[in-house]
Structure 1
Amino acid sequence: MVTVPVDAIVDAATTVFVLSTMLAMGLELAPAQLVNALRRRRLLAKSLLVNLVLVPLVAYAIVRLIPMSTGHAVGILLIAMAPGAPFGPKIAEISESDIAFASGLMAVLGILSVVSVPVTAALLIPGDVTADPLGIAQLVVAVQLVPLVAGLAIDVRYRAVSDRLYPPIQRLSDYSFAFLLVLLVVVYADDMLRLVGTGTLLASSLIVVAALLAGYVLGGPTRTTREVLATTTAARNAALALFIATTSFSDPTVLTMVLAFSFIGVFVPVAVAGAWRRRPRSDGRLVET
């Protein structure tokens, strides 16, 4: 009987999750949403600044200030430099914010991350860690840009096909995410528990809160775009970070840190979005949950 290594199962599950998620994102995204995001040039510029520059720099400063192992620092930096969480529009839906802008921004960040992630990795990853920016760029193109663009192209050219493909692809993304989450928790539960008291969870929380505040401040004059930029910035692209961690770094603490950060990066924005959903309306009533 052939025994399949756990690492190989994690790699395969991560690949399926990322590819199906990016393809579903492309199939669901309306081209008008992408165009609308591009037209809001000032807001888009601030969105790119906070997502591609400020959050990675804040993460770099924090991992330098709080003592931690190199592997943990790399894991934190890796997810901090991965923008464009696929579930950004879902969080916007929870807070009843600008879903169209959230979808367009998610697509723009997904495309630009092909350049931003390898460049940021080359600049910020500690010098004693072997990181291949070109290899990371190829990974981002293969697992994020190609399925995203393919989904967009199918949606534009063959809308009926897109409508039929989206439900099963989205279900594959959901099921693979659930499977991957359980698998990673089972495999790395002890490693994540050992993070308690190391300062790494504090560092992750500080980065997420800083990203949330920076996004809200730079999110423009309207409440709905401030909320979108806040939650989109705080919720980093865990799918991409997990894939890079499993394929480009041999140190298991990198993946452990990405996973731990991911939990914080999902919980905080969703909790804040839920609180915003119950904000008072102009007439003093609460929004129904």
Structure 2
Amino acid sequence: METLHLVLNAVTVIFIAATMFAAGLGATVSALRGVFADAPLLLLALITNMVVIPLLGWGIGALFSLPSASFIALILVASSPGGPFGAKLAMVQSGDIVGGAAMQVLLASVGSITFAPTVNGLLTAADVGANVSLDVGALVRAVALLQLVPFAIGLLIRRYAEPTARSWRPAAAAVSNVTFLIVLAGMLLGNWQGVVALLGSLALLAGFLLSAIAFATGTLLATGPPVRRTTMGGVASVRNAGPALAAIGIAFNDQPAILGALAAILLSGLAAALPIATLLNSRRKATTAAVTQDPAGGRPHGPGTGVAP
């Protein structure tokens, strides 16, 4: 089992780096500027991920009267934004990949600082005592190394060697896709006992609802076209497991019940977010296919296009 965890950790690192590198290869400085210059979008994303979703996790846990271990795990997940699966969901739904990757890195960086006080405040308010104290510097360095650096390298290659970026991007995306499937399978195999132990409880439903409602909330509390709004929803729906795992080790002595609940909640959250992203992708492909193309020139024609049918 220890070997499986080591292999899974290595594959997870490759998945995060490959996903961010592929996103960087498809990014442009002007596109990034458009995201970070949109003050309302940034403000709404921060409020959604730093305030609304943590409170949502607390509310769902209280509503379902979750046992202590599951309640703690749900609060840890809800309080940790910027999960690396956010950029992957942007790819799955054919969304705003550049905006999703940029927002994910920003949220993960800010979340490294806000995570501990948010968790402490919510657990204190819920009368579940725990003093979570984390090395903020280590968390920020992890975000920079695994997410920001690969994204920046891809962005620089796109800016100064665009043909190379275009040729490398399919391979990087393929690595991201394959490792994504391996990470999902590994999460199931490595934590199946904890997941099975929670079958019949409300913890799985709580994780599912947290992710689904976070997806909707992130979409509603965003600006821009629908593609960007649903991308922000996907980023909001998946959370960053790193700080949560660190907190369990430091503040809760790696209690198996909390670790099992964390795995179950993360997996049930992905079970909610992935189908939504897949459905969005299918609808966008159907909309694109519905645009009638001129057989000769491949140009759209029909009412409103200015090209005769």
Same structural fold, with TM-score higher than 0.5 when normalized by the shorter chain: yes
Q: Which segments of 5 or more consecutive residues in structure 2 lack a partner in the other structure?
A: 293-309
Q: Which amino acid aligns with 2:133?
A: P
Structure 1 pair 237/165, CA: closer, same or farther in 2 (3 Å)?
Answer: farther
The equivalent of 1:262 in structure 2 is 266
- 1:1-45 per-position Cα deviation (integer Å, ceiling 9, x unaligned): xxxxx56863x4565455445544554434725433211111121
SS in 1 for 2:80: coil
Alignment correspondent of 2:110: 112
| Aligned CA distance change for structure 1 residues 92 and 284 (closer, same or farther; 3 Å) | same
**Cα displacement (A) at 1:112:** 1.2
| Alignment of structure 1 residues 31-180 onto 2, 5 Å | 32=29, 33-126=31-124, 128-135=128-135, 137-152=136-151, 154=153
d(CA) in 2 for partners of 1:245, 1:102? 26
| C-alpha separation in 2, matches of 1:283 and 1:68 | 44
Q: What is the Cα deviation at residue 180 of structure 1? A: 5.7
**How far did residue 192 of structure 1 move?**
1.4
Structure 1 residue identity aligned to 2:290: R
Deviations 1:97-142 (A, max 9, x none): 222211211121122122122221222235544443233x244224
Distance change in 2, residues 1:255/1:17 (3 Å): farther
What TM-score comes out, normalization by structure 1 length? 0.78
Q: CA deviation at 1:285?
A: 2.3
Structure 2 residue aligned with 1:285, among 260, 278, 290?
290
Partner of 2:240: 237
Segments of structure 1 that go 5 or more residues without pairing to the other structure are 1-5
Confirm or deny: 8 A CA contact 1:51 1:233 kept in the other structure.
Answer: yes
Larger radius of gyration: 2
How many residue pairs get aligned? The number is 278
CA contact (8 A) 1:82 1:117 kept: yes
Aligned equivalent of 1:3: none
Residues 85 and 106, structure 1, Cα contact 8 Å, conserved in 2: yes
When residues 71 and 279 of structure 1 are mapped into structure 2, their CA distance, relative to the original with a 3 A threshold, is same
The residue number in structure 2 matching 1:224 is 227
Contact residue 20 and residue 87 of structure 2 kept, 8 A: no
| 1:273 aligned partner, one-letter code | A
Alpha-carbon distance in 1 for matches of 2:261, 2:227: 32
Corresponding letter in the other structure for 1:260: A
Q: Deviations over 1:30-78 (max 9, x none)?
A: 4725433211111121111111111011101111222222111111111
Q: Using the alignment, how far apart are the partners of 1:37 and 1:18 within structure 2?
A: 27
d(CA) in 1 for partners of 2:143, 2:207: 24
**Identical aligned residues as a percent:** 20
* CA deviation string 1:230-254 (max 9, x = no partner): 222112224x256426633321122
Instruction: Indicate how the Cα distance of structure 1 residues 214 and 260 shifts in structure 2: closer, same or farther if over 3 A, else same.
Output: same
Separation (CA, whole Å) in 2 of partners of 1:112 and 1:96: 26
CA–CA separation in structure 2 for the residues paired with 1:134 and 1:121 = 11
Query: Structure 2 residue aligned with 1:247, among 246, 249, 262?
Result: 249
Structure 1 residues 22, 165: closer, same or farther in 2, change over 3 A? farther
Note closer, same or farther for the CA distance 1:25–1:246 as it changes in structure 2 (3 Å cut): farther
Measured after TM superposition, the shift of residue 260 of structure 1 is 1.2
The TM-score, its normalising length taken from structure 2, stands at 0.73
Q: Distance in 2 between matches of 1:241 and 1:144?
A: 10
CA deviation map 1:260-289 (0-9, x unaligned): 1222222222211222223376789289xx
